[in-house]
Amino acid sequence: MLREKLKDYHIILASGSPRRQQFFKELDLDYVIDVREVEEVYDPQLKGADITDYLSHLKASVFTNLSEKDIVITSDTIVWKDNIAIGKPTSYAEAKQMLFGLSGQMHEVITSVCFTSKNRQKTIHDTTKVWFKTLTEAEIEYYLDNYKPYDKAGSYGVQEWIGYIAIDRLEGSYFNVMGLPTRLVYKTLMELSEKS
């Protein structure tokens, strides 16, 4: 459906995330992948969705000289807990610490998606609340030894083993926790196609 509506557009997905790439494929979109390096630094006074909005804009800012039919899609996801943004772990020890911090607690997963064309830009974001059961050290170590989630905010993938055994419940979009609020992406692309 979207493929037909956007057939005259050139969709550029600026994400190295295999999960986001799969989502775009399953939304039946024609797209190309173009990932450009950006130093993901933001003002520490930013909170929650302001962080992911800012970073998704920042990732779009390196795309200049867009043609009339280009739509660049950039995105960012954080885990938000106790008024602190939890990004991707840089080591085993940090990943372990992150998971202990989420154990037995509720956290939020916030994803922003920025749609940039030559003449306009629109940003959306979504928040999902996730409750973890209390994890044992053995469970955390098993997960890190077997899944190595160093490319994931909060050091976990909801679609992996840890999601099966740790999540008591969630409130909001499951796909948002995986890194893309798919229903909002679909809605926004439909709107953009109708405004042309």
- CATH of 2-195 given 1.10.10.920, 3.90.950.10, 3.40.309.10, 3.30.230.10: 3.90.950.10
* pLDDT above 80 for 195: no
At 80, is the pLDDT very low, low, confident or very high (cuts 50, 70, 90)? very high
Q: What is the pTM of this model?
A: 0.93
- Report the C-alpha gap between 130 and 136 in whole angstroms: 18
Of residues 76, 82, 145, 151, which has the active-site annotation?
76
pLDDT band for position 148 (50/70/90)?
confident
Angle separating helix axes 92-102 and 137-147, nearest 10 degrees: 130
Q: What is the pLDDT of residue 145?
A: 96
Q: 104 near 174, Cβ under 8 Å? A: no
Residue spans of the domains in the chain: they are: 2-195
Cβ neighbours of 164 (radius 10 Å): 9
Position 193 confidence tier, pLDDT thresholds 50, 70, 90: confident
Q: Kindly state the average pLDDT of the residues 61-67.
A: 94
For 86-90, what is the mean pLDDT?
92
Residues making up the chain, counted from first to last: 196
Q: What is the pLDDT of residue 3?
A: 84
Residue 76 designated active-site: yes
User: Given CA atoms 177, 100, 54, 64 in this order, what sign does their dihedral have?
Assistant: negative
